[in-house]
């Protein structure tokens, strides 16, 4: 973290502590969208996500006087949100479509990006090279913006292991940088990248199944 960020944090914390509403509003404007998206990675509806975000702000206001600055202000806020969202998500799990798909490997780190059977085996002509290579998608820009592809992506995201879903949400939906996502989620560089890699691979695979079946492949 840079010196500027530390100084800015200190000033912002001091301002919020003394009741400076404009300073607090600035933080609310900056973080409400990413916090809401992250909450939606855990809870089944927008209404519940809004409640989780509101509870988070109340937690920030109540806790700011005791905040010791061991992490950055934003990291602290994201951790409050994640604790709220994860426990709320646990409670409402039965209503979520992906609850039946619990995995042995919650971070899903040992899965290949592409199914092994897409590649040639050891006895193939070119072992490890494509047996069934991906086929280019027709009009991808238009079709990716359509409702059907949107549903495919949302379902694929809902089926991701929790940590992958969090990283994908901040990086690819919210558009956070790797560093911003690492700080928000308290992940190492490598872990952030591995989780993102697995998550993107699975959304691509879901889109491929969808486009291939539409094309009759």
Partner 1 sequence: MSTAIDEMTCREFVELVTDLIEGELAEAKRVEVEAHLGECDGCATYLEQIQQTIAGLRRLADADDLPRTREQALAAFRELKRTN
Q: Which is nearer to partner 1, 6 or 11 (CB)?
A: 11
Quick one: which of 13, 15, 144, 158 contacts partner 1 (CB under 8 A)? 144
Quick one: which of 41, 48, 53, 187 contacts partner 1 (CB under 8 A)? 53
- How far apart (Å, rounded) are the C-alpha atoms in residues 6 and 69? 9
Burial letters 146-169, b for 16+ CB under 10 A, else e: eeebeebbeebbebbbbbbbbbbb
Footprint (CB under 8 A) of partner 1, residues 89-128: 112-114, 116, 119, 126-128
Closest separation between CB of residue 93 and partner 1, Å? 23
Query: Is residue 134 within the footprint of partner 1 (CB under 8 A)?
Result: yes
Taking the CA of residue 148 as centre, how many other CA atoms within 13 Å lie in the half-sphere pointing to its CB? 10
Q: What is the x/- site pattern for partner 1, positions 155-194, by CB under 8 A?
A: -------------x---xxxx--x--------------x-
Q: Give the total residue count for the chain.
A: 217
- How far apart (Å, rounded) are the C-alpha atoms in residues 122 and 132? 15
Q: Which is nearer to partner 1, 79 or 174 (CB)?
A: 174
Q: How many C-beta atoms lie closer than 10 Å to residue 39's C-beta?
A: 26
């Amino acid at each position: 973290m840079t010196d500027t960020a530390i100084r800015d944090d200190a000033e912002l914390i001091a301002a919020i502590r003394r009741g400076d509403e404009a300073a607090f509003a600035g933080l609310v404007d900056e973080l409400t969208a990413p916090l809401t998206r992250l909450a939606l990675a855990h809870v089944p509806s927008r209404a519940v996500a809004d409640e989780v975000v509101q509870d988070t702000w109340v937690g920030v206001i109540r806790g700011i006087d005791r905040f010791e600055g061991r992490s950055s202000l934003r990291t602290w806020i994201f951790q409050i949100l994640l604790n709220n969202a994860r426990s709320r998500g646990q409670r409402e799990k039965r209503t979520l479509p992906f609850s039946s798909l619990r995995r042995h490997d919650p971070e899903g780190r040992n899965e290949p990006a592409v199914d092994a059977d897409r590649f040639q085996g050891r006895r193939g002509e070119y072992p490890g090279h494509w047996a069934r290579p991906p086929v280019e998608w027709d009009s991808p820009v238009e079709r990716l913006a359509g409702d059907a592809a949107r549903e495919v992506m949302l379902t694929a995201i809902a089926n991701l292991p929790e940590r992958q879903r969090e990283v994908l949400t901040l990086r690819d939906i919210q558009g956070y940088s790797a560093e911003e996502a690492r700080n928000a989620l308290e992940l190492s560089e490598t872990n952030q990248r591995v989780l993102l890699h697995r998550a993107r691979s699975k959304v691509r695979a879901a889109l491929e199944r969808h486009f291939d079946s539409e094309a009759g492949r």
